Amino acid sequence: MVNGFFLGNELIALAAVNSGVKSAYAYPGTPSSEILSAFQKFAPERYAQWSLNEKIALELASGEAISGSSTLCCMKMVGLNVAADPLFSVAYTGVDGAMVLVSADDPGPYSSQTEQDSRMYAVSARVPVLDPCNPQDAYRLTMLAYQISEKYRLPVMVRPVMRVCHSRQNFMADDFSAIPIRETILSGTFRKDMPRWAATPKFRRILHEKLNKNLDFLAAEMAPKIPEKRYDMAVVASGYAYAMAKDVIDEMNLPFDIIKVDMPFPLDRQFVIEAEMVYDRIVVLEETFPVIEHNFTIKTEGRLTGLVPSEGELTADIIADILLKTAGITRETAKAGITVNESPVNLKPRLCAGCGHRPAFYAMKLAAPNGIFPGDIGCYTLGVNLNAVDTCICMGASITFAEAMKRSNPDRPVICTIGDSTFFHTGVAGLTNAVVNSAPIVVAILDNETTAMTGFQPVPHKTGKLTIEQACAGAGVKHIVNADPYNMKKGVEALKQALAYAHTDNAPAVVIFTKECVTKTRYKNKKTAEITDACTDCTICYEKFECPAIYRDKAKRMAKIDESACIGCMVCIQVCPQKAIGVKK
C-alpha cells in the first residue's frame, strides 16, 4: 500500500484499472487529459489510445464493449458534443461488457468555450450519470460505474467537474502490480445479435422500452438516503457542490441536513417525494445546470428560483451566502483588520517566449493587414493578444469559418489558423469541404508537433505513418508549402503567395508553419538577444509582438530582455523597426 496524494484524474484511471478495463480511449482536453496518461502509467500492459477525436474514441470504446470487453473513454464536455452521436445510439443498444464514459466539465469556465453540463447529455441520451465530489469519491464512483455497467449492460457516464479532476487528495493505493488480470482484459467475445447491435427503427422502440425499465430499477437501487432528521431544512447536492456545502455546513454549524446524490440521473421518484414530505425547505446545489432540481416540484429552491447563480463556478463563499440567506442568519465580516494599500499588476496568459506561433501570427498580420483571421482551439487561441485571431468557436471551426467569412466578405483576404492536433481532429473534413466548394482561403497550419495546451499528448503525423502534407493533398489541396516561423520574411512571402494562389485558382492554399513546441523540448539557444541604445521605445517588441522575455525598463525608457527567459529564437531582431536588437555577443 502506498499513501499518496493523487489527482482526481489519476484515481479515476486507477479505478478503471482495478475494475478490469481492457482498453481506454481518449482525446485530450482540459480538465480530462490526465486520465488516459495515468491509465497508461498504472497499467502499461493494457491498451490505451489517443484517438483523433472524441467521436472516434467513443465509437472504439463502444465497439469493444459491445464485443464483451470492459472499456474506458475520456473527454472534456465539449468533446462530448462531438461524440454525442454514438452516445445516444449506444444508450439504446447497451453493451455486452462494460463501458464508462468520463466527461469532465469546466464550470467557470477556466479552459473552455462553454459551461455546459454533461449530465444534461446523460439525461437526454438516457445514460446513467455519477457525479463525484472529490478524488476519493471519484475512485469510489468510477468503481461503482463499472459495476452498474456490467450489471445492467448499459454505458455509464462519470461526470467530474474541473475541481474534482484537478484536486489532489490523500489515498491509500494498492501496489499496482498486484492487480489481478481478468479474462475480459485479454480479449472480447462478440456475440451476433442483429436486432440489438444493428437495430432497425422497429427494434429501436423495443430497446428504448427495455432501457426505460432498466433505468427505473437502477434509480430505485441507487436512491439517495434520507438521513435521520435533525433540521427542517435540507441541502440536496451532488458533485463538488456537495463537498463544498458539507464543509461549509460543518465549519459554520448551519441548520441543514445534507443529502448526497451520487447519481443525478436517473433519480428515484420515491426519494424526491419523500424528501419533499420530510423537509420544510430544500436547497439544491449542483453544477452547472438544474438536473436534480428539475425533479422537485415543491418546497425547493436553487437555480430555477434564482437562489443559486445561473452562471460561473460555485465557490465556498457563494454557497455560504446561499445557506446563510436561506437560514436567515447574517454573517459577521471576518476581514476587518487587514489593510492593503497596493494593488497587483494584471497578468494575462501569453504564448511562451520563443513559441513558433507568435511569428506565424505576426507574419499573417504583415501579409494581410486588412485580413480576417478565424482561429481555433489550442495554445494558439492566444493569438487574440496579437490581434491575429478574430473568431474562436469550436474544434475545427477555423477552416469552415474561413470559407464562410470569405463568402460573406469576398474583398478581404482570409487566413485561418489551426493547430496540428486540431487539424486531424476535425480540420480535415472542413478543408475537404473548402476544396470541393472552391473557397479562396489560406489555411495556416501551426504545427508544433504535439498537443501542447493539454500537456503534450502525441499527434498523428509524428507516428511516421502519415504527414500533414499528405492529409492536405488527400483533401484535394494543390498549393501546400512549408515555412519556418522563425524566418519572418520567408513566412510573409509564403503567405502572400498562398493568398495570390487562392485568388487566381479559386481554391484553398495551405501554409504549414512547423516549429516544435519549445516548452515541450525545453529548447534554449546558447545565445540570447540583446537590445542596444538604438531602441526608441516604440513598444512593438514587448507590446505588439509580446514576447514575455522582453519588458519595458521604465527608468531607461527602453525595452529590455530578460536573459533567463529569452530562448534565443532571434525573431525579435526581425521585428524591431529600429534594428535595435541584436544577438548578444
Residues interacting with ligand SF4, by CB under 6 A?
A: 351-355, 357, 379, 448, 452, 517-519, 528-529, 531, 535-541, 547, 549-550, 558-559, 561, 566-572, 576, 578, 580-581
Q: Does 12 bind another protein (CB under 8 A)?
A: no
Contact partner, 540, from another protein, ligand SF4, none, Cβ < 5-8 Å per class: ligand SF4
How far apart, in whole angstroms, are the C-alpha atoms of residue 450 and residue 356? 13
DSSP 540: I
State yes or no: residue 348 binds another protein (CB under 8 A): yes
Return the closest-CA partner of residue 521 out of 464, 420, 448.
448
Cβ distance to another protein smaller for residue 62 or 454:
454
Residue 170 lies near another protein (rule: CB under 8 A)? yes
Give the CA dihedral 13, 17, 23, 25, nearest 10 degrees.
0
Question: Of ligand SF4, another protein, none, which one sits near residue 576, judging by CB under 5 to 8 A according to partner kind?
Answer: ligand SF4
Identify which of residues 357 and 365 has a Cβ nearer to ligand SF4 in the complex.
Answer: 357
| β-strand partners of 414 | 372
Eight-class DSSP state of 119: H
Considering the complex, state which of residue 125 and residue 355 has its C-beta at the smaller distance from another protein. Answer: 355
Phi and psi at residue 422, in whole multiples of 5°?
-65, -35
Which C-beta is closer to another protein: that of 99 or that of 397? 397
Residue 549 DSSP code: T
Alpha helices in 347-487 (DSSP H): 357-367, 397-408, 420-422, 428-436, 468-474
| Binding partner selected for residue 567 from another protein, ligand SF4, none, CB under the kind-specific 5 to 8 Å limit | ligand SF4
Work out how close the CB of 381 gets to another protein at its nearest, in angstroms, rounded to a whole number.
8
Please count the residues of this chain forming the interface with another protein, following the rule CB under 8 A: 58
User: 257 or 447, CB closer to ligand SF4?
Assistant: 447
What is the spatial order of strands in the sheet that 479-483 belongs to? 415-419, 442-447, 509-514, 479-483
Instruction: Name the minimum Å distance from CB 454 to ligand SF4.
Output: 10
Collapsing DSSP to helix, strand or coil, 6 comes out as strand
- 566: cell is 529569452
Q: Considering only CA atoms, which of 88, 77, 69 is closest in space to residue 131? A: 77
- Contact residue for another protein among 70, 134, 457, 574 (CB under 8 A): 134
> Which residue's CB is nearer to ligand SF4, number 59 or number 546?
546
- CB-nearer residue toward ligand SF4: 499 or 559: 559
Nearest Cα residue to 364 out of 398, 396, 394: 398
Of positions 220, 277, 316, 473, contacts another protein by CB under 8 A = 316
Q: Among 259, 352, 445, 561, which residue interacts with another protein (rule: CB under 8 A)?
A: 352
Q: Cα(first)–Cα(last) distance of the chain, in Å?
A: 55
How far is it, in rounded angstroms, from Cα 9 to Cα 495?
42
User: Are 53 and 426 spatial neighbours (Cβ–Cβ below 8 Å)?
Assistant: yes
Which of 179, 128, 129, 152 minimizes the C-alpha distance to 13? 179
Of the pair 129, 581, the CB lying nearest ligand SF4 is at 581
Give residues 448-477 in contact with another protein (rule: CB under 8 A).
Answer: 453-455
Choose which of 44, 306, 349, 369 interacts with another protein (CB under 8 A): 349
**Contact set with another protein (CB under 8 A):** 3-5, 30-31, 33, 110-111, 133-135, 162-163, 166-171, 240, 242-244, 246-248, 250, 315-317, 320, 333-345, 347-352, 379, 381-382, 453-455, 548, 564
